[in-house]
């Protein structure tokens, strides 16, 4: 059953009437360009087939009531009061953040009932939060009778995440969840927000996502810390951001910086260049070179940016051990790190044997069952009037 149908059925069961609208938005996998978005560099994500859907219908009160399949406690937002973040950090901060940003922008909200269903794994680095935020923002557009510029909608979702969910994330996730195109990856310039769509439709090649099924506690605090370290590096280099920096300058000024800061900057500078090269490889269908760039990205994330973890390294080593002879072209961790998913570029003909081998060897090595699935680039947020 499609996620839209599931959300529709869940709504009907919960409120004993059909929904009026269903909005949905996809999760994403970042092919390459990790921790470069908030350094105003390039990223290269694609939307995945897993999606979050929200079905809704107006109610006669001044309240927003949202049930989720995954959480027992519903969200209840009283629109006659200021919409403030929940300090216990519950999932209610996602809808609250988006609703607050719509109200701040002067849009008129009214009460509605809703249900949320999702196939995007939570905490796996596949951007389940942006999928939820963008789906809600798409629904609120319908409820308020406005249509935001897609890029403004993404920026609104990013602000909501900063101020309500408390995560100083970059712009990549809401942009891809909002704008994604079927069959295409996105080379996004995070400084100008210029978008270059790159067809990724070669049936001989598959993007395989491998969920380590671990999430380490460090993830959120380390994310903010890395962001600070990048700002420090740019300051010492006297550059507006690491986008403007280059390796020569970094080497020249390395003695003025803590070696940790030098490594952080080296990751960002080299990753931005790998991302641009990766986009060229996809255009030229040079899958071997693209695979090598993925491998190099993982190395840099592991040793210079230090956001990997033993389970991600295990997956990547196993995949790289299968190698080109077994159909694996390259593999790296993806997303915020410290657990979550790796992404591998593989030859479609070997998909079944690669899945079997990674599953077995990762279980043997860690005692944990991974989840593996392939995805083609999927479409961005959508709205359906039922």
Q: Which residues are catalytic?
A: 173
Nearer to ligand GLA, 34 or 295 (CB): 34
How far, in Å, CA of 111 to CA of 44, rounded? 38
Q: In degrees rounded to 5, what are phi and psi of residue 268?
A: -65, -45
Beta bridge partners of 193: none
- The stretch among 1-9, 29-37, 319-327, 367-375 that binds ligand GLA (CB under 6 A) is 29-37
- Min dist CB 17 to ligand GLA, Å, is 36
How far is 146 from 296, CA to CA, in rounded Å?
44
CB of 384 to ligand GLA, least distance (A): 27
Nearest-approach distance from CB 30 to ligand GLA, in angstroms: 6
Segment holding 191, helix H or strand E = none
Instruction: Specify the DSSP class assigned to residue 386.
Output: -
Nearer to ligand GLA, 172 or 237 (CB): 172
For position 380 contacting ligand GLA by CB under 6 A, the verdict is no
Contact 47, 379 (CB under 8 A): yes
Q: Determine if 164 is a binding residue for ligand GLA (CB under 6 A).
A: no
Q: Of 34-42, 70-78, 134-142, 252-260, which segment contacts ligand GLA by CB under 6 A?
A: 34-42
Site for ligand GLA in 196-255 (CB under 6 A): none
Closest CA to 112 of 12, 6, 7, 21: 21
CA 187, 155, 337: angle at the middle one, nearest 5? 60
Among 11, 15, 21, 35, binds ligand GLA (CB under 6 A): 35
Which DSSP string corresponds to 257-278?
A: S-HHHHHHHHHHHHHHHHHHHH
Residues of span 120-139 touching ligand GLA by CB under 6 A: 127
Residues 6+ apart with CB under 8 A from 62: 78, 79, 80, 110, 111
Report whether 33 contacts 41 (CB < 8 A). yes
Rule CB under 6 A: say whether 38 interacts with ligand GLA. yes
- Shortest Cβ distance from residue 169 to ligand GLA (Å)? 3
* Nearest residue (CB) to ligand GLA, 128 versus 292: 128
- Residues contacting ligand GLA: total by CB under 6 A: 12
The one among 41, 291, 336, 370 contacting ligand GLA by CB under 6 A: 336
Question: Quick check: 287 binds ligand GLA (CB under 6 A)?
Answer: no
39: Cα separation from own chain's centroid: 16
* Helix or strand holding residue 218 (H, E): none
Binding site for ligand GLA (CB under 6 A): 30, 34-35, 37-38, 127, 169-170, 172-173, 335-336
């Amino acid at each position: 059953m499609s996620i839209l149908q599931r959300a529709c059925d869940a709504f009907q069961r919960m409120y004993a009437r059909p929904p009026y609208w269903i909005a949905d938005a996809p999760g994403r996998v970042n092919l390459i360009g990790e921790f470069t978005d908030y350094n105003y560099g390039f990223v290269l994500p694609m939307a995945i087939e897993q999606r979050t859907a929200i079905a809704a219908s107006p109610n006669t009160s001044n309240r927003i009531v949202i049930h989720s399949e995954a959480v027992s406690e519903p969200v209840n937002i009283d629109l006659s009061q200021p919409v403030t973040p929940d300090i216990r950090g519950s999932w209610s901060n996602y809808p609250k953040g988006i609703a607050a940003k719509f109200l701040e922008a002067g849009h008129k909200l009214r009460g509605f009932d809703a249900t949320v269903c999702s196939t995007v794994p939570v905490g796996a680095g596949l951007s389940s939060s942006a999928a939820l935020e963008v789906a809600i923002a798409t629904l609120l557009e319908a409820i308020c009778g406005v249509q935001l510029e897609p890029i403004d909608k993404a920026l609104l979702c990013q602000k909501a995440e900063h101020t309500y969910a408390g995560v100083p994330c970059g712009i990549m996730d809401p942009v891809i969840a909002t704008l994604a195109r079927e069959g295409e990856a996105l080379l996004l310039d995070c400084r100008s927000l210029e978008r270059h769509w790159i067809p990724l439709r070669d049936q001989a090649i598959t993007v395989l996502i491998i969920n380590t099924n671990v999430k380490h506690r460090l993830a959120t605090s380390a994310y903010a810390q890395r962001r600070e370290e990048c700002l420090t590096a740019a300051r010492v280099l006297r550059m507006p951001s690491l986008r403007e920096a280059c390796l020569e300058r970094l080497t020249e000024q390395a003695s003025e910086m803590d070696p940790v800061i030098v490594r952080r900057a080296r990751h960002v500078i080299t990753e931005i260049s790998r991302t641009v090269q990766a986009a060229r490889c996809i255009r030229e269908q040079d899958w071997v070179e693209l695979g090598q760039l993925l491998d190099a990205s993982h190395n840099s994330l592991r040793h210079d940016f230090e956001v990997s973890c033993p389970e991600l390294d295990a997956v990547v080593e196993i995949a790289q051990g299968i190698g080109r002879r077994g159909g694996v072209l390259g593999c790296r961790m993806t997303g915020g790190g410290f657990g979550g998913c790796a992404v591998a570029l593989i030859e479609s003909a070997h998909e079944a044997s690669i899945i079997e081998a990674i599953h077995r060897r990762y279980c043997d090595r860690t005692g944990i069952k991974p989840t593996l699935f392939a995805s083609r680039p999927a479409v961005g947020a959508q709205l359906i009037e039922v």
